[in-house]
Structure 1
């Protein structure tokens, strides 16, 4: 029987289980340090923290008035009526106290039909028209290609914004914000007002001539031209109305972005008077730099227009990173909710013997509740908006997160618990409102009960050929099935040996570890002839994948063109991770013979029987 870790009143687990179910004790020094960081919630927190419930639920509150989102006033006495509206409401007691009431359907929206689709690293998917990086115009082309092929969805890397500075953050999984988009993805020629400015498009397109994606050069070029368009056009009344509708969140983002251009990407290093949103000093800064603030707001308007056009008529599953940069906009806005002195990561496992430190500060669970879950709600809503799908990176983080002390290694951390039931119900509510499916990345060490809770809430599991011991035909129906991810070898890289050679080059493990890992993954391709060519291996792997009865079958463009390099190699700090372009341009993808073979295989798989 698997032991259950002891959790203290701060939510810290005293021990943890590794992938082999071996128990490890957390050092008392670590526990004491985390307790100090978490702090003690106020005595009245339970009386004011939000209530997350479903219609018909009993409520542990006395008689109160519920002020619904639409302004309707309803009386609550002991339970929610079955016909109570879903949404974000307020409970007001007789003594005038208010607390948030979040009413969820409890299950995410799911499509009725099975489908297959493409997993796309958009930055890598360049065309002859893009300026050195795959953009939203290219996403539109991919969506049209996918629709013509009979695909039902496209899964894309996170498109969240990073600091708009000269040195661009390459990793899509360490954004400055999870609420706004990265303007580097704009198709400049399609921005409103672009037709009135000399875009110097030849110089822009020349940015795609290099072997790597040079974000610094691309952003410098795009920013200069976009600024000229903004000052010549300004967006007019349409932008003005949109900006007003977005309210405080957009203003905060645009203000943070403007300040970064002058004082750098980490708000901790800014002048003292600018380190908090709000206040007279910040108002004065905005007044002095109003044009730059407006420019960054205008970029978000242009991004929304292009994303809407790019996703029209198809489910585009956007990726939600587990966290955000500690010096970024979300950390600046919600600094009172964040833990200081720790970052999020993962304990040692079979694939990372030293553990992982992802660099993002975690939200303190009780402070998140005290903030009415607003940081979480806004991040989910913004990422799911207008696309029809959401993939939650490291979905286990809704249950617990591995906190790594700043002065220690990843192995010196501990798990801290989160209010998973509330968070899953909020995801279900946002999914229901947007009619968007939700996939949870439940890879690696998954504790007992996580997948059961995901299934109860209609969150699709994420099953990989590289990870699963069972045959694909036995995988669950409520899942997204795939072969690999951006962090793991491509089929061609694995079979041809290029991936292990690159791991050796970058020193990501001992020779024994690397050989064992490759042998383990090759065993996931039963029936593959010895010495098979990369193209044969790709076709074979997708025939195996097509046997899965899962709701969604996902194939990477990298595999479909026989690319030997994975997008990201964890632990290889000197490798150009997240900067490798696909060697096949967007316009040439539909005619690629191996890609066409993958399309036929997955289409046949989806047409087959689905498990009940």
Structure 2
């Protein structure tokens, strides 16, 4: 059980044994967390009484509702939303009314491609896949029965300095990376044709290299975008959008300018710029007003291009568990974070040393005292395109493994979070945006988590590589997949090359588990020992198609019969993680027999009895 700081003094390890957390670890984490306060919002499910006492409720739209002096609670018919309760002494408290469940359309079932957007290049790409290429994936997918596309996180990174390759280490989870822009589609690009055509030629010359050079791509795109901005300006549509945005956009754009001046790590800036509310920050923003608007314009462009994709096919975005401690979100919310802590994972059968992710956690009581605003803004931004949201390491809504600075992952402890509140807020934002929610519940999942997620209509995540039972036994309320970006592709597993790579890199792979997965795959069909990679891919998706899951996903790596996976955890310095383009272009994938076969198999599996020709979308 957690103490009043939320620190758990023991935990169950991967082998099922109970392990005590050293007293010194508990004491240090308590000191970092500080004495918790009880203040925070009042969150109530729609139709249930809210124990406010007498006072006045101010609804989200400004409508006042009096709570009688003799009443113990607010009316039970309050609308969903973020309201305020003001007591007779004038003290205000946030009152949030939430739905019981996330958005999940009755009878909806679909399959979709899981795409690493940067890796999905076409003949029009400038060295890496972009949102124009994603639009191509969406159109191709819809034409062949797909109902959504799942994408890697698209979060912003610092515009200055090396471009962070990992999508799971963003500077911000609320804003997007303009590296993904299709420059030719930017309004005003036609006014500087020589600049854009020259940049396009330089960008496309990078397509000859399998390894993606994000720094080179960004230099080329930034010069072209700056030329468009100087010549064409933003326009009235951007001006209207900009005026409607919350203060966080201007603060983000200011941060971007400051990174260009002082480097990507805000803790290395002059001390008078460390506080985002400081007068020196306001002065810098005023001095660089045009550049601030430029960075805001880039966000508008990404919003437009991603929105265009989502209008053609629902886009399921991916929410990382955290963000860069030297990035924008950490700069703006530094007072709510434990910056001298990283989240990670205790030792388990796959990693006996444990894992250190380098991501700072929110202090639970401080997050609550802030009315959960950072969580709300993050979820809202991630669901803005509608479609859906995959929550990476969804167990982090319940507890996170905290590792204090200077300690090893084995010397951490779990810190408990207010899961009921966070799940309620997830449901509210999901219903408002029409986004289906998937919880990535792989690995060690404590008892009671999956039932709580299911009660909220948050889909479980089931992988062929992890599950020993036949897919036909998996729960319908799940997203089913063969593999993920962190695990072997079908071709890499089948031919043994992924295992060989892990051995070569000295990563001590789990060979027994890999052999068991190979044996299960071989038994489907059955597959002959000398079956090709393409045959193994099709067999794997025929097996996956047995799952009754409402969402089925297929990776573009498998469609390309690619043996190398996007990421091998723990090998960032040993191989180009998150930087390998697919071995074939999107143009070639469209004519791939293997890709077509996967699509046919999954289309047949998800075709409803009442509708044999089309699929409902997530948001309609």
TM band (smaller chain): over 0.9
| Whole-Å separation in 1 of the counterparts to 2:565 and 2:85 | 50
Residue 54 of structure 1: which of 42, 45, 66 is its match? 45
1:83 matches 2:82: no
Cα offsets for 1:424-473 (capped at 9, x unmatched) = 00000000001110000000000001100000011000000111121100
1:33 deviates by: 0.8
Which residue in 2 is equivalent to 1:428?
A: 427
Which residue in 1 is equivalent to 2:56?
A: 65
Map of 1:139-538 to 2, 5 A cutoff?
Answer: 139-197=134-192, 198-199=195-196, 200=198, 201-509=200-508, 513-525=509-521, 526-527=523-524, 528-538=527-537
Which residue in 2 is equivalent to 1:10?
A: 5
1:204 deviates by: 1.9
1:79 deviates by: 3.6
Cα offsets for 1:551-607 (capped at 9, x unmatched) = 001110111221101100001122100001011111221210111111111112113
SS of the aligned residue for 1:558 comes to helix
1:321 deviates by: 0.4
Which residue in 2 is equivalent to 1:592?
A: 592
SS of the aligned residue for 1:332 comes to helix
For structure 1, the residue ranges without an aligned partner over 5 or more in a row are 1-5
Residue 95 of structure 1: which of 89, 96, 102 is its match? 89
Rate the CA distance shift 1:29–1:520 in 2: closer, same or farther, 3 A: farther
| Whole-Å separation in 1 of the counterparts to 2:49 and 2:363 | 28
Which residue in 1 is equivalent to 2:121?
A: 126
| Whole-Å separation in 2 of the counterparts to 1:603 and 1:204 | 36
SS of the aligned residue for 1:131 comes to coil
| Whole-Å separation in 2 of the counterparts to 1:166 and 1:282 | 20
Cα offsets for 1:173-215 (capped at 9, x unmatched) = 0000011000000001111111111211211211212120100
Cα offsets for 1:524-565 (capped at 9, x unmatched) = 423333332211111111111000001001110111221101
Contact map agreement 2:272 2:280 (CA 8 A) in 1? yes
| Whole-Å separation in 1 of the counterparts to 2:173 and 2:89 | 37
Contact map agreement 2:459 2:477 (CA 8 A) in 1? yes
1:56 deviates by: 2.5
1:116 deviates by: 0.8
Cα offsets for 1:34-69 (capped at 9, x unmatched) = 001000124xx33xx101111222333312211001
| Whole-Å separation in 2 of the counterparts to 1:542 and 1:498 | 20
| Whole-Å separation in 2 of the counterparts to 1:81 and 1:155 | 40
1:11 deviates by: 0.4
Deviating more after overlay: 524-533 vs 193-202: 524-533
Aligned alpha-carbon RMSD (Å)? 1.4
Deviating more after overlay: 181-190 vs 191-200: 191-200
| Whole-Å separation in 2 of the counterparts to 1:593 and 1:580 | 23
Contact map agreement 2:171 2:323 (CA 8 A) in 1? yes
1:28 matches 2:23: yes
| Whole-Å separation in 1 of the counterparts to 2:374 and 2:151 | 23
- TM-score scaled to structure 2, two decimals? 0.94
1:80 deviates by: 4.5
1:159 deviates by: 0.4
Cα offsets for 1:337-366 (capped at 9, x unmatched) = 001211111111122221111111000000
Cα offsets for 1:475-526 (capped at 9, x unmatched) = 00100000100000001000101101110121111xxx44223213224423
Contact map agreement 2:11 2:18 (CA 8 A) in 1? yes
